[in-house]
Amino acid sequence: MASIGLGIAMVLILIALQANTDFNQLLYSDKNQNETADFLVINKKVTNSMMGQPEKSVFSPTDIENVRKQPFVQAVGLITSSQFKVVAQAPGELHFATDMFFEAVPDSFIDVKEDDWKWNPGDRTIPIILPNDFLNLYNFGFSLSQNLPQISQETVKALPLQVVISNNLVSETYTGHIVGFSDRISSFLVPATFMNWANEKYAGTTTAATSRIVIKTADPSNPALVKFLDDNGYTANQDKLKFSKTRVIVQTIVSVIGFFGLILLLFALLVFSMFIQLVIASCRKEIQLLVTLGTAPRQLQRYLLKQFVPLYFIIGILSLVLVTILQYFAAGLLAKHDMVVNPLPGIGTIIGTVLILVLVYIVNVSTVRRYILQDQ
Partner 1 sequence: MQIQLDHLLPVPLKDKILQRKSGIWNENIQFNPGSFVKIKAPSGTGKTTLVHYLYHIRYDYTGSVLIDGKPWSGYNRNETASLRQQKISVIFQDLRLFEQLTALENIELKRVMNSQPYCTVEKVQEMAARLNVTHVLNQSSKTLSYGERQRIAIIRALVQPFEWLFMDEPFSHLDEDNTSRAAALIAEECKTRNAGFILTDLDHDQHFDYDVLYQL
Residue 293 within binding range of partner 1, rule CB under 8 A:
yes
Judged by CB under 8 A, the residue of 4, 158, 249, 296 near partner 1 is 296
* Least gap, CB of 291 to partner 1 (angstroms): 7
Are β-strands 171-182 and 125-131 bridged in parallel, bridged antiparallel, or unpaired?
A: parallel
Q: Select 92 or 294, whichever has its Cβ closest to partner 1.
A: 294
Neighbours of 249 (CB within 10 A): 10
* Least gap, CB of 364 to partner 1 (angstroms): 20
Judged by CB under 8 A, the residue of 295, 307, 366, 374 near partner 1 is 295
Judged by CB under 8 A, the residue of 154, 286, 338, 375 near partner 1 is 286
* Least gap, CB of 299 to partner 1 (angstroms): 8
* Least gap, CB of 296 to partner 1 (angstroms): 4
Residue 365 within binding range of partner 1, rule CB under 8 A:
no
Residue 375 within binding range of partner 1, rule CB under 8 A:
no
The residues that bridge with 177 in the sheet, in sequence order, are: 127, 160
Task: Answer whether 32's CB lies under 8 Å from 339's CB.
Answer: yes
The residues that bridge with 129 in the sheet, in sequence order, are: 180, 189
Q: Select 30 or 375, whichever has its Cβ closest to partner 1.
A: 375
Judged by CB under 8 A, the residue of 108, 206, 238, 376 near partner 1 is 376
Q: Select 296 or 355, whichever has its Cβ closest to partner 1.
A: 296
Task: Answer whether 350's CB lies under 8 Å from 38's CB.
Answer: no
Residue 291 within binding range of partner 1, rule CB under 8 A:
yes
Interface with partner 1 (CB under 8 A), residue total 13
From residue 317 to residue 356, what is the string marking binding to partner 1 with x (rule CB under 8 A)? ----------------------------------------
Q: By CB under 8 A, which span of 75-83, 90-98, 192-200, 297-305 interacts with partner 1?
A: 297-305
Q: Select 153 or 301, whichever has its Cβ closest to partner 1.
A: 301
Residue 284 within binding range of partner 1, rule CB under 8 A:
no
Residue 169 within binding range of partner 1, rule CB under 8 A:
no
Residue 292 within binding range of partner 1, rule CB under 8 A:
yes
Q: By CB under 8 A, which span of 31-39, 91-99, 102-110, 288-296 interacts with partner 1?
A: 288-296
- The residue ranges that bind partner 1 (CB under 8 A) are 286, 289, 291-299, 373, 376
